[in-house]
Amino acid sequence: MFRVVDLVPGKNGQKNLTFITGGARSGKSRLAERLALESGLPVHYLATMQQWADDDEGGGRIQRHQERRPADWTTHEVPFDLDKAVDTLPAEPAAVIIDCLSVYLSNLLLLDLDDRENPYVREPAIMEKIDLLLRSTAARQEIDFYTVSNEVGWGIVPTSILGRAYRDFLGLANQSLAEAASQVFCVLSGLPVRLK
């Protein structure tokens, strides 16, 4: 079953939303950063990755992203409730990078998850959070949003039910963002391919 998000009339999508997807280390974040910089607007960076004390690799990834950002960009750490973060941004023209949807969805999926719980029961709540995010971005037409996500469904089928649920939920979330956006890019080996 295909999920259709119809937030803005017309076939061109939400004019203030650009969706950028692709594989790991493909250049998605760099494209979002370039587009935001080229806009000439003040930039807000909504970072969804949490820093864990025992995760040196993740910490290094966060540090590399931080070092690339110009000093005048405003960073907001938002592992949860992206919709509320969008709602509270200043009421002025800006470029906002959401980096990234795939980590955000993982945060939502793993929040207080019991090992015995079937992760698929979380689908309605997670997809509601994606819908809330889209409603919030649609309501902020003075802001240009550049949302980054990963394509995780091109590889082998995960062996765990948690891995399969994550892959499935992210595939649905990516479809929702791509349907709503006026521009969609897939980045392959550093090369952006415009899909929409």
What is the spatial distance between Cα 19 and Cα 62, in angstroms, rounded to a whole number? 21
Whether residue 143 lies inside any domain: the answer is yes
Pairing of β 94-99 and β 43-47: parallel
Q: For the chain (length 196 residues), average pLDDT per consecutive 10?
A: 41 88 92 96 93 64 71 93 98 97 96 89 96 97 98 89 96 96 94 92
Which is the catalytic residue, given 14, 20, 28, 65? 65
What does the pLDDT read at residue 173? 98
Whether residue 28 lies inside any domain: the answer is yes
Whether residue 1 lies inside any domain: the answer is no
What does the pLDDT read at residue 84? 98
- Residue keyed to tokens 């309501």: 139
Whether residue 40 lies inside any domain: the answer is yes
Range of the domain at 155: 14-194
What is the spatial distance between Cα 54 and Cα 58, in angstroms, rounded to a whole number? 9
What does the pLDDT read at residue 69? 79
**pTM for the whole thing?**
0.88
Number of domains in the chain: 1
What is the spatial distance between Cα 111 and Cα 142, in angstroms, rounded to a whole number? 32
Whether residue 6 lies inside any domain: the answer is no
Q: What are phi and psi of 79, to 5 degrees?
A: -75, -25
Whether residue 148 lies inside any domain: the answer is yes
Whether residue 74 lies inside any domain: the answer is yes
What does the pLDDT read at residue 6? 44
What does the pLDDT read at residue 154? 86
50: domain CATH number is 3.40.50.300
Give the 3-state DSSP-derived string for the chain, with helices as H, strands as E and coil as C. CCCCCCCCCCCCCEEEEEEEEECCCCCHHHHHHHHHHHCCCCEEEEECCCCCCCCHHHHHHHHHHHHHCCCCCEEEECCCCHHHHHHCCCCCCEEEEEECHHHHHHHHHHCCCCCCCCHHHHHHHHHHHHHHHHHHHHHCCCEEEEEECCCCCCCCCCCCHHHHHHHHHHHHHHHHHHHHEEEEEEEECCEEEECC
Per the DSSP assignment, residues forming a β-bridge with 184 are 19
What does the pLDDT read at residue 45? 96
What does the pLDDT read at residue 170? 97
Whether residue 3 lies inside any domain: the answer is no
What does the pLDDT read at residue 126? 97
What does the pLDDT read at residue 65? 64
44 is catalytic: no
